[in-house]
Amino acid sequence: MEEHTALVVFENKRIRRLWHEGEWYFSVTDIVQALTDSPSPRQYWGVLKGREPQLLTICLQLKLPAEDGRLRLTDCLNTRNAFRLVQSIPSKKAEPFKLWLAKVGYERVQEIQDPELAQKRMKDLYRAKGYSEAWIEKRVRGIAVRQELTGEWKRRGVQENKEYAILTNEISKATFDKTVEEYKEFKGLKKENLRDHMNDLELIFNMLGEASTTRIARSKNAQGFPENKTAAKKGGKIAGDARKQLETESGENVTTSENYVLEKEKHKRLKLV
């Protein structure tokens, strides 16, 4: 079962990966690009697998986010088979890449044994990106709230991917009057993660909508997609009503078109002080 996706970086190259059936799987074309700097990694991979057809037997096609933000089937390799791919690519970067893969695998084993390490690495990554400590704490808490919600959905018979996306949109629509895609467009985002571009209040109300949905699903013992869709609408409405009340009392909108693409969150926060 696919659990979550993530991006990792090797020498400034972004490599997509997916935690699938107990281990990391990496995008083949991303590995090819990282090792060859080819302007057309897909074409390079096509030539490579044509020359060595056995490489196809060690690949799995898994859904990873494409450049347009949609999940698309992508040739992927686990860590062991990624080493096999590296052997087929003549590159001076091969040895550092092997060491990097070993490090990634070792870190994952550490994180399974001690989940606090994963949270620490996450916080370090956000600090490196220029986020403030206050924002990071809310973002990390929001991730925990989201994981609790998706865990509840899974236990209640909701199908991953498509149904998760629909329910998430129901919460977002009721909370912010915008679906996730509408919100990203409002903020001028494309491939970026929407939550990484929310300010403190947006993160708080997003958490409230998802936490309320979890509580309602449990209290109503919602089963299957239709009942959980109802819970999502109700949970989002609780957050939406609270947002509107705050906007009325403060005279300011909670939702904002601002993002942190060009200017870091920490810098924008300082301007508001």
Q: Note whether 12 and 68 are within 8 A (CB).
A: no
Which domain does 222 fall in, by range?
A: 118-272
pTM of the full structure: 0.63
User: Using CB atoms within 10 A of its CB, is residue 90 exposed (0-12), middle (13-18) or buried (19+)?
Assistant: exposed
Looking at the 3D structure of the chain, how many domains does it have?
A: 2
The domain that contains 23 carries what CATH number?
A: 3.10.260
Structure tokens at 117: 């390490």
Give the pLDDT of residue 66: 84
- Of the three residues 69, 95, 113, the one that is the final residue of a domain is 113
Euclidean distance between CA atoms 200 and 223, whole angstroms? 32
pLDDT of 112 > 80? The answer is no
- Of the three residues 70, 98, 113, the one that is the final residue of a domain is 113
Considering the domain architecture, whether residues 103 and 131 belong to the same structural domain is answered as no
Considering the domain architecture, whether residues 173 and 149 belong to the same structural domain is answered as yes
Considering the domain architecture, whether residues 16 and 40 belong to the same structural domain is answered as yes
User: Using CB atoms within 10 A of its CB, is residue 178 exposed (0-12), middle (13-18) or buried (19+)?
Assistant: middle
Considering the domain architecture, whether residues 67 and 147 belong to the same structural domain is answered as no
DSSP 53: G
pLDDT of 122 > 70? The answer is yes
Considering the domain architecture, whether residues 261 and 149 belong to the same structural domain is answered as yes
Considering the domain architecture, whether residues 103 and 11 belong to the same structural domain is answered as yes
Taking alpha carbons only, the member of 132, 98, 104, 128 closest to residue 118 is 104
- 267 vs 202, more confident: 202
Considering the domain architecture, whether residues 108 and 146 belong to the same structural domain is answered as no
- Of the three residues 113, 140, 157, the one that is the final residue of a domain is 113
What digits encode the pLDDT tens for the residues 205-226? Answer: 999 999 999 999 999 999 999 9
User: Using CB atoms within 10 A of its CB, is residue 38 exposed (0-12), middle (13-18) or buried (19+)?
Assistant: middle
Considering the domain architecture, whether residues 163 and 229 belong to the same structural domain is answered as yes
Euclidean distance between CA atoms 218 and 36, whole angstroms? 50
What digits encode the pLDDT tens for the residues 6-61? Answer: 656 666 778 898 888 778 899 999 999 988 878 899 999 999 889 998 888 999 99
Considering the domain architecture, whether residues 62 and 149 belong to the same structural domain is answered as no
Considering the domain architecture, whether residues 195 and 133 belong to the same structural domain is answered as yes
Considering the domain architecture, whether residues 240 and 128 belong to the same structural domain is answered as yes
Considering the domain architecture, whether residues 108 and 14 belong to the same structural domain is answered as yes
